[in-house]
Structure 1
Amino acid sequence: MPDVLEARLLATVSRLAGPVRGAGIVLISLFGAFSLHSPLGWSLFAAVAVSTVADFRLPRVALPVAFLRVVVLSVVLGADADQWVITVLTTTLITWQWQWPPKVSVPATVALLAVQVMTTGPGVLVRAVLESVLARLSYELLRRSSRRVDALRERAAERSRAAAIALDQGRREREYLALLHDTAAATFLMAAHGGDPEEVAAQARRDLVVLAERGNAQGTVDLGAALTAVARDSSVHVRVEAEVVPVPAGVALQFVRAARELLTNVERHAGTTEAELTVTRGRGAVVVIKDDGRGFVPAEVPEHRRGLRGSVVGRLEATGGTAVVESGPAGTTARLEWTADD
């Protein structure tokens, strides 16, 4: 598909070639009739003027009409009005190069020149060929120039789009950094100055919710720190081993909610007050929560109880992760995994 400027330019040149030819030939024939100053000259002028209707209004038949027009002038006038015939001929050949592609204009040009040589001799051949070639070359140069302009405009548009994307990205990053300052940084400052652990944990959870609402791609959260806060806030005594594991804020939020649900289950059903929580970093994040309570059979959990299925398994699957819960008389182990995109 041609580029925008090239397509418009070619369409305009092709559309104007016929009217330009018609107007030019009417003027040429008017001067030719004046120079002959005879009834024959004025009769030919009238015929030529009528034929130019095809150039202005009937582009589909303009080529054969123009062909016959030159042939008639050449046969009727011959050597009596060679300038009239030659000028009409060259005007016709030049505008053909602008209006039709080479597969149409070249055979038509060769045929018309052959007829012209047979009727008036080879004297016009060099001039007619030269002007036809120059007309085609000028058309091709114009076409290439418009194509280069299109390419330059496209590159400029791409740079503008890239600049707009970069500007928007910078704005989003500045907004997110401001949000971090107002949330997580303030919470870290509270913790550094010996704030109450329960208040710090509650504030950290609120910060995590706010950050997650901005979208997973808006930043990262240390999952180890977030789950340490959850463990500290639990009624169960939790031994924590946590690495620094940065994950998207939305993913961290689902881990936090799943871990809270698992620790609540330990408190309510396991018959123990102790648990272990480990957070390790691999291709993403791995969280393991263990207890040494009485255990249960996961397959026998009633359908209406959605704690594990909805609050743990469903949440991890929603982030593209997995959750596996294994339980028996020796206790329960829940393994939560999430793999980062490459």
Structure 2
Amino acid sequence: MPHVLLEVRLLATMSRLAGPIRGAGVVLISLFGAFSVSSPLGWALFAFVAVTSVADFRLPRVALPVGFVRVVVLSVVLGGAGGQWVLTVLTTTLITWQWQWPPRVTVPATVALLAVQVATTGPGVLVRAVLEPVLARVAHELLRRSSRRVDVLRERAAEQNRAAAVVLDRGRREREYLALLHDTAAATFLMAAHGGDPQAVAAQARRDLVLLAERDNAQGTVDLGAALTAVARDSEVPVRVSAEVVPVPAGVALAFVRAARELLANVERHAGAATAELTVSREGRGALVVIRDDGRGFVLDDVPGHRRGLRGSVVQRLRAAGGSAVVDSAPGRGTTARLGWPADD
């Protein structure tokens, strides 16, 4: 499960490092021990420890029994003369066992080693030999629980981020659908309410159904120039078109088509323009669409907030597709709309 990833990594790292730490530790301890004993027996035991430490580095499956035998040999051969050498090797072994194996393995092995140590050197070693591995096990458990807690918190944060992303996407889809309804059904109802030609209203309604049916089904690549040329051809206002071949994702092209259709519909309904101009060109790896008219123009700040034409059907639609839309207009100067989309690198 995702929420235990950090815990698993931590335990795996501790288990992987425990053997090399134990092997290096007992070799270094035995080197000083051999110097302190300063006898052929001491150097022979050092060589024995160095050879058996290979299991700690390379053979983790047999490292526990090898470590057990190593401590028993040192305890039996040196006895009380081993002093700190035997005791330090013992505690190093017991501590690193706690990092590498579960209690069901380490507890019986630890008890057996302590019994051997008491039999060879007496009970004086018990306090240190018991306390240090217990503290090592407690530290191990605290680290494990802390890592599990961190994983749980990270998973909860990820769930909250996913939920927030779903809410944002749902809001975007709702805004897009409202804009689409404005462009299709609302415009068709307005045409019918003003006594439009029944055949024209029926044709427009069929186009609306096609657009509504294709919602959220935009895939592939589309030539934006050809798509917007077709939109200009359907406009009631004469449109001069200058279009390059600009391939864009179908979803982006659909946003441009709907935005351009809304802008040309506004020219027809409100601008009183004799002509309009539409240009489609590349801008870097992206696309730039400019729609101009020579109509009466308007003041942008005077557009009522409930009018969704420019805001919902043009600006927000392009923004949702990863692009941008800027409309510039003034009374008597016509209107210019610049629609841009920067391709992803």
TM-score tier after normalising by the smaller chain length: 0.5 to 0.7
- Deviation for aligned residue 1:62: 1.0
In 2: Cα distance, 1:134 partner to 1:55 partner: 22
Counterpart position of 1:86: 87
Say whether 1:161 aligns with 2:125. Answer: no
Counterpart position of 1:16: 17
Deviates more, 1:9-18 or 1:152-161: 152-161
Say whether 1:208 aligns with 2:209. Answer: yes
Correspondence 1:311-330 to 2 at 5 A? none
Counterpart position of 1:62: 63
- Deviation for aligned residue 1:193: 2.7
Say whether 1:199 aligns with 2:200. Answer: yes
CA contact (8 A) 2:49 2:70 kept: yes
In 1: Cα distance, 2:11 partner to 2:214 partner: 53
- Write the letter of the residue equivalent to 2:12: A
Correspondence 1:90-169 to 2 at 5 A? 90-169=91-170
- Write the letter of the residue equivalent to 1:67: F
- Write the letter of the residue equivalent to 1:142: L
Query: Which secondary structure does the structure 2 equivalent of 1:155 belong to?
Result: helix
- Write the letter of the residue equivalent to 1:25: V
Counterpart position of 1:45: 46
CA contact (8 A) 2:27 2:50 kept: yes
Counterpart position of 1:75: 76
- Deviation for aligned residue 1:215: 6.5
Could you list the per-position Cα deviations for residues 4-44 of structure 1 after superposition, in whole angstroms to 9, with x for gaps in the alignment? Answer: 11112111111111111000001111111112222221111
Please list every run of 5 or more consecutive structure 1 residues that lacks an aligned counterpart in the other structure. Answer: 217-342
- Write the letter of the residue equivalent to 1:68: V
Could you list the per-position Cα deviations for residues 284-322 of structure 1 after superposition, in whole angstroms to 9, with x for gaps in the alignment? Answer: xxxxxxxxxxxxxxxxxxxxxxxxxxxxxxxxxxxxxxx
In 1: Cα distance, 2:77 partner to 2:216 partner: 84
Counterpart position of 1:289: none
Deviates more, 1:148-157 or 1:83-92: 148-157
Q: May I ask how many residue pairs the two structures share in their alignment?
A: 216
In 1: Cα distance, 2:24 partner to 2:38 partner: 21
Counterpart position of 2:173: 172
Query: Which secondary structure does the structure 2 equivalent of 1:22 belong to?
Result: helix
**Structure 1 segments (4+ residues) deviating >4 Å:** none
Please list every run of 5 or more consecutive structure 2 residues that lacks an aligned counterpart in the other structure. Answer: 218-345
In 1: Cα distance, 2:199 partner to 2:51 partner: 99
In 2: Cα distance, 1:206 partner to 1:15 partner: 66
> Is the alpha carbon distance of 1:130 and 1:175 closer, same or farther for their aligned partners in structure 2, counting shifts above 3 Å?
same
In 2: Cα distance, 1:212 partner to 1:44 partner: 84
- Deviation for aligned residue 1:121: 0.5
Counterpart position of 1:183: 184
- Write the letter of the residue equivalent to 1:139: H
- Write the letter of the residue equivalent to 2:80: A
- Write the letter of the residue equivalent to 1:35: S
- Write the letter of the residue equivalent to 2:118: V
- Write the letter of the residue equivalent to 2:175: R
CA contact (8 A) 2:68 2:113 kept: yes
Deviates more, 1:139-148 or 1:173-182: 173-182
Correspondence 1:274-313 to 2 at 5 A? none
- Write the letter of the residue equivalent to 1:144: R
In 1: Cα distance, 2:98 partner to 2:160 partner: 37
In 1: Cα distance, 2:211 partner to 2:31 partner: 84
Query: Which secondary structure does the structure 2 equivalent of 1:125 belong to?
Result: helix
CA contact (8 A) 2:80 2:120 kept: no
In 2: Cα distance, 1:60 partner to 1:98 partner: 14
Structure with higher Rg: it is 1
Counterpart position of 1:288: none
In 2: Cα distance, 1:51 partner to 1:213 partner: 72
- Deviation for aligned residue 1:99: 0.7
In 1: Cα distance, 2:154 partner to 2:10 partner: 15
- Deviation for aligned residue 1:100: 0.6
- Write the letter of the residue equivalent to 2:210: V
Could you list the per-position Cα deviations for residues 37-81 of structure 1 after superposition, in whole angstroms to 9, with x for gaps in the alignment? Answer: 222211111111111011111112111111111111111112222
In 1: Cα distance, 2:206 partner to 2:57 partner: 78
- Write the letter of the residue equivalent to 1:7: V
Counterpart position of 1:3: 4
In 2: Cα distance, 1:215 partner to 1:12 partner: 46
- Deviation for aligned residue 1:186: 1.0
**TM-score normalised by structure 1 residue count:** 0.60
